[in-house]
Amino acid sequence: MSKISSNTSESNIDFSKAASVIKALIGLFKVPSLPAPPVSKRIALSAVLRPGLDYNKIAQNIISESSKVGVVVGDNDDGSDNITEKMEFIRVKAICEAIISDARITIVNLPGQQITATGGNAGGPVQVYGTSITTSNGYGVIS
Amino acid sequence: MGFINDKQDLFNELNGLKTVEELFPKFKNIQKDLTSGVDSVKSKSGNIVPLLLDLLKQLIGSNLKESFDELLLKTDKIETKVKKTMVSTIMKNTSKKKDFNLQNIQNPLLETNVKNIDIEGTLKIDPDTDMGKFYYGKAAKTIPASVNGPQVNIDTEPGGDFTKFLSDVKKSGSGNWKNILNVEWPSGSEQLKFNIDPSYQDGSKSFENFLTEFLDSVKILDLGLLLSTILDSLFGAVSSLTDAGSDWLENKMKLKELVNKVVDKESLSKPGEPTVYDTNFFNFTDDEKRKINDATIALTNGNNLADLGCGLVENSVDLRDFDAAFNLLTESSPSSIKKGLTESTDKILKKSTNGLDEDNKKTVGLNIISEIFDNLTTIIFSQTIKPFNVVLQQIGEGLMNQDTSNPSINVGAPGVQINNSSLEKSSVEDYFQKFRTLNICIIKDIYSTIIEFLFGLVKKEVLILLKVRIEILLSTQFQNYKLHIDKARELLKNVKNILSFINNLSG
């Protein structure tokens, strides 16, 4: 019997072993995460005037965009309904309804938020300025 | 199975990246060729060359041919690795005697039958014939012979084919290889003597010096020989020129099977753990024998090319077509070598895809290059089954079998007897098994260098894709941010209009 030792390259990948090379290849595809820039308060405030989710509009947009990559839209050649388009409406409607009725939003306010409060005591009204020292939760709905 | 799932994940990742990129016209600069469920993913074999080639086909498509030429131009890296392995393996085997001085050795270092050093039987072929030039590499530079000295004298300039030198010695009776070795080969005899050159025994050289300097003095990976071996692996072209064509091809198929077995076992073994081989491992099973037989027949009939999509291709290639390209490979300027290489591979592809339409030519061309890449470990390994290496191994065996740790006696052992007359086992199998430790190390060196090269190509292309992916991500984030602002502006405008309307009503 003869024993053969293994050899590893400078990059710590043992190119003579399949598992080592495949692990390194999978590692190549890891895309770094890039956080999106935060939305400003003013812009967030304008959300109150937004129209809300409209599944018809979403499905129309999908169909319109898919035509750009070559998906056949409109009625079939024999005049029958395009099932794919109908499916798109059904799918988007189901997703929107699930989001609107089932999604739960939890908001966490971080400590350090500036607060201004008023109160009173025997001496008269009191105004308080300060910062919150704990987190606080809130809930919301998607419409 | 985790191994296969991991391979599938690779293609999923790649297809995901490419799909995202192709949906953005701005970044649409990479070829569309999405496939899934490729054979290399389903394969249980440890050899991952096919997997890397499938990834590369999707990433760079027909540019794979340029990558192949590029790899052949970098074979010096493999040659250096292989030479180091040869020295270290012989030194490990002869560890007790590594410090002895060459001055103490009495010649001959080796006295053996030619069959024990010429495993493939190359020396039976005359290098000065049309056929012979495909079996020998570039000849080393000779210098004039002295009056009573050896008849063939090789200059000390590095490089040159040692087998060609031996063939010249066979004709003239004696020769000196670069002031390192003297060879005696009496006319008509099968017995050779290898002596250390007296000038080399000046007291300053160790056995390790001898091994290193001898290996540095020979060229292992001669591009001309590599390409004629490639032609053989595709068309059976070179072997068909010999009297024993099918036996030669069968030996090559046996070698391929042995190399594949080693690659498979090594590749699937756990990283960091030594792989244990028992002697039975190298004996072929009935299935393997059938596979070798089928592969030999397929190569003889040209069916292997039909399997690659070439259709009916004439299997006897006229080697004269490659004369000009091969001549360029023997020149010293790098540009001529590169040109010779490009011309040779272009001709191989042209010859294989003759009669196909343009679309099929592209696909079949890729198949041919993949096939060559897939066989490359065997093709390169076969260049080490040459007398330059076997002579050293036989000398090493001779030393190892000596009792004394200071061999001041004649070590001219007959070497290991290589069986070339048995019907059960060919000389290639016998050699491979008897020198298995070295052969496994060489195969690992070659295979891992090829994998490293292919991995580098995949990495380069994936990084380009990832760069595009990140650009898309940043661009999408910016567009989303802009969308928020536009939406807010639009909403405020609506509010303003409503307020203005109310104002008008109340006014």
Render each residue's pLDDT in chain B as its tens digit; 507 residues: 577 777 777 777 777 766 666 655 554 444 444 444 567 777 888 899 999 998 888 888 778 888 888 888 888 888 999 999 999 888 887 765 555 667 777 788 889 999 999 998 889 889 888 777 788 888 899 998 777 888 899 998 888 999 999 999 999 999 999 999 999 999 889 999 999 998 888 778 888 888 999 999 999 998 888 888 888 887 776 666 666 667 778 888 899 999 999 999 999 998 777 888 887 899 899 999 998 988 888 777 766 666 666 665 555 566 677 777 777 777 767 777 778 778 888 877 777 777 777 777 788 888 888 888 888 999 999 999 999 999 998 888 777 666 544 445 555 556 677 776 666 678 888 899 888 888 999 999 999 999 999 999 999 988 888 888 788 888 888 888 888 888 888 888 888 888 898 888 876
Contact call for A20 and B271, based on CB within 8 A:
yes
B:281-320 residues touching chain A, CB 8 A cutoff: none
Q: Are residues A80 and A96 in the same domain?
A: yes
What is the bridge-based pairing of β-strands B174-177 and B181-184? antiparallel
pLDDT at B421: 62
pLDDT at B378: 94
Contact call for A16 and B484, based on CB within 8 A:
no
Residues of chain B found within 8 Å of residue A16, distances taken between Cβ atoms: 266-267, 444, 447-448, 451
Question: From the CA of B5, how many Å to the nearest CA of chain A?
Answer: 11
Mutate to test the interface with A, among B24, B32, B261, B269 (most CBs of A within 10 A): B269
Q: Which chain A residue shows the shortest CA-CA distance from B457?
A: A25
Alpha-carbon Rg of chain A, whole angstroms? 29
Whether chain B has a CB inside 8 Å of the CB on A89: the answer is no
B:30-59 residues touching chain A, CB 8 A cutoff: 46-48, 51-52, 55
**Minimal Cβ distance to A2: which of B436, B445, B492:** B436
Q: Which chain A residue shows the shortest CA-CA distance from B454?
A: A15
Q: Are residues A98 and A56 in the same domain?
A: yes
Q: Which residue has the higher pLDDT, B289 or A75?
A: B289
**Minimal Cβ distance to A50: which of B273, B485, B491:** B491
Residues of chain A found within 8 Å of residue B52, distances taken between Cβ atoms: 21
The pair of three-digit structure tokens given for residue B58, joined into one six-digit string: 């999707």
Whether chain B has a CB inside 8 Å of the CB on A31: the answer is yes
Question: From the CA of A137, how many Å to the nearest CA of chain B?
Answer: 25
Q: Which chain B residue shows the shortest CA-CA distance from A5?
A: B274
Question: From the CA of A99, how many Å to the nearest CA of chain B?
Answer: 20
Residues of chain B found within 8 Å of residue A1, distances taken between Cβ atoms: 276-279
On whether residue A82 sits in a domain, the answer given is: yes
A135, A111 Cβ separation under 8 angstroms: yes
Q: Are residues A67 and A97 in the same domain?
A: yes
Contact call for A22 and B7, based on CB within 8 A:
yes
A27-46 per-residue burial string, b: 16 or more CB within 10 A, e: under 16: ebbeeeeeeeeeeeeebeeb
On whether residue A59 sits in a domain, the answer given is: yes
Query: How many structural domains does chain A have?
Result: 2
On whether residue A32 sits in a domain, the answer given is: no
Q: Are residues A122 and A87 in the same domain?
A: no
Mutate to test the interface with A, among B1, B3, B13, B264 (most CBs of A within 10 A): B13
Q: What is the mean pLDDT of chain A?
A: 83
Give whole-number Cα distances, B148 to A139, B54, B151, B192, B456, in Å. 104, 60, 8, 19, 55
On whether residue A2 sits in a domain, the answer given is: no
Contact call for B481 and A39, based on CB within 8 A:
yes
Q: Are residues A98 and A82 in the same domain?
A: yes
Count A/B contacts: CB-CB distance under 8 Å.
Answer: 130
Is the pTM of the predicted complex or chain greater than 0.90?
no
pLDDT at A9: 55
B366, B61 Cβ separation under 8 angstroms: yes
Q: Are residues A61 and A98 in the same domain?
A: yes
Q: Are residues A111 and A99 in the same domain?
A: no
On whether residue A5 sits in a domain, the answer given is: no
CA atoms of B371 and B68, how far apart (whole Å): 11
Q: Are residues A122 and A136 in the same domain?
A: yes
Domain range for A113: 104-143
Q: Are residues A92 and A110 in the same domain?
A: no
- Dihedral over Cα of B400, B402, B405, B406: its sign: negative
Give whole-number Cα distances, B143 to A24, B152, B331, in Å. 52, 8, 19
pLDDT at B185: 95
Element (H, E) at B344: helix B334-353
**Minimal Cβ distance to B470: which of A4, A13, A34:** A34
Q: Which chain B residue shows the shortest CA-CA distance from A15?
A: B448
CA atoms of A39 and A141, how far apart (whole Å): 19
Q: Are residues A90 and A125 in the same domain?
A: no
On whether residue A123 sits in a domain, the answer given is: yes
Question: Which one-letter amino acid corresponds to residue B458?
Answer: V
pLDDT at B258: 95
On whether residue A79 sits in a domain, the answer given is: yes
DSSP state, residue B48: -
The pair of three-digit structure tokens given for residue B113, joined into one six-digit string: 């039958």
Whether chain B has a CB inside 8 Å of the CB on A41: the answer is no
Q: Are residues A60 and A97 in the same domain?
A: yes
- Dihedral over Cα of B389, B392, B398, B400: its sign: negative
pLDDT at B507: 65
pLDDT at B191: 93
B:176-235 residues touching chain A, CB 8 A cutoff: none
On whether residue A119 sits in a domain, the answer given is: yes
Contact call for A29 and B14, based on CB within 8 A:
yes
Q: Are residues A118 and A80 in the same domain?
A: no
